[in-house]
Amino acid sequence: MNLNVAIRKTFKTGRSGSAGRPGPAEYSGPAEGSGSAEYSGPAKYSGPAKYSGSAEYSGPAKYSGPQPAPAPAAFSLDVSFKLDSSNSVLGILGPSGSGKTMTLSCVAGLETPSEGIIELNGRTLFNSYKKINLHPRERDIGYLFQNYALFPHMTVEGNIRAANKRADVAALLERVELSGLGGRYPSQLSGGQKQRAALARCLAREPQLLLFDEPFSALDEELREALQDEMKRLLDGYGGCAVFVTHSKREAVKLCGKIISIKEGKAMPVELTHFDSGGGARMVDVGGKAPTHRRAVASGVITMSAEAFGKIKDGTAAKGDVLGVARIAGIMALKKTAEIIPLCHSLPIDRADIAFDLQGEQPAVANCVCQASPADTESENRGYACGGELRMPAPSRLRAVCTVESFGRTGVEIEALCGVNIALLTVYDMCKAIDKSMVITDVRLLEKSGGKSGGYVYEG
């Protein structure tokens, strides 16, 4: 699979509203008289004299209200990018009006570039030099519009069959998790269901390329997160190329293997630094790196009182199953870290687990035979004086071990370390009413494998 786009589109008078569409007509003042024509409204004009054509307009001063805005400056879209099997999903970032949607429209055939070439899997869709410009229906492209563009008078099944009469509707609905909803109309669907119905319609024609124009912009945060996960699952199993327009860096990182930015019509290469001069996060381009198997194991310890330890071990803590909740919190945190921290591509987590080792309080020296005075041993909490050393009972310890595996372009060490930290912080939060003096310590990377830096094993 491959997509090659190198296009330029110029608007000589700029864009007003939408690309290439003129703005409102300018006010041109009262129409000039035609000489002999009389006023033909409900009643004839009965003023002092009829307008004779030669007399100049002598009414109130000419219109002097707000003048129309000057025509926008000329706008030029100049974009080029390539996709292949190693980077089949492209994310396009950029502010409003930068040319992101226009780029999709040119690729889909809804707009015609001034010049350039568009090729998909070896087939020429557009070539201004050879006078080739395939009709949108001939391009094998599925386009998911920002507003989904479902036909309101058709059911979900009808919308799908409008794209392909021979489509396997049941299979498509199952693929987008809408089984049993084929008979509903768009007005009977939620926002997320409408998006999935529109996606099923896109897939009905078995396109070689999918175009997404900010498909999550109209959804609330919680639904957006859930549908992003569904979209990633679908794209991972799609098998074709996709171009995804978004304002959100987080969405682009999560869903796309390659990212470009368009500013004022120009495609800008993604910077190789993490932060810009204003402290904002930037992407890191790892498109040239081959994905490999990555593995990392990290551990950490939280020390606590015997009472807190006992309640955790027995499952009698007031807030419930401490270790169960801590494990889930740690895994969720490391997955979020995989989406946000790399700032370069969506990092697929193939395996993530957190295990706990309960290490109870170790007693002080049980059979002390030194010549310590009674004052030195009057309380177990004071410990024992042995050979000049004070040996206190070892505190109760809970050890967490986090293992993360991935097949990607960046390591997963930070994910493993984050998982351990959040798991132990969750233990603290759930048990702080019992023991506020708990201490998290010894958080460290135990081992890692994969990537240019090779393997590592902690030998402490």
Q: Nearest CA to 142 among 218, 230, 238?
A: 238
Q: Are 208 and 108 in contact (CB under 8 A)?
A: no
Residue 264 to residues 73, 131, 132, 413: CA-CA distances in angstroms?
A: 11, 27, 27, 38
- Of the candidates 352, 235, 223, 225, the one whose C-alpha atom is nearest the C-alpha of residue 296 is 352
**Rg (Cα) of the chain, in Å, rounded?**
34
Neighbouring residues of 145: CB distance < 8 A, sequence distance ≥ 6: 198, 213
Q: What residues contact residue 256 under an 8 Å CB cut-off, 6+ apart?
A: 89, 90, 91, 244, 345, 346
Closest CA to 182 of 155, 202, 161: 155
Cα separation, 16 vs 32, whole angstroms? 29
User: How many CA atoms lie within 13 Å of 300's alpha carbon, on the beta-carbon side?
Assistant: 22
Between strands 209-213 and 241-245, the pairing is parallel
How far is C-alpha 294 from the geometric centre of its chain's CA atoms? 23
Q: What stretch of H or E contains 445?
A: strand 439-449
Instruction: Give the phi and the psi of residue 364 in degrees, each rounded to 5.
Output: -70, 180
314 catalytic per annotation: no
Pick the catalytic residue: 314, 429, 435, 442?
A: 429
Question: Catalytic positions, please?
Answer: 429
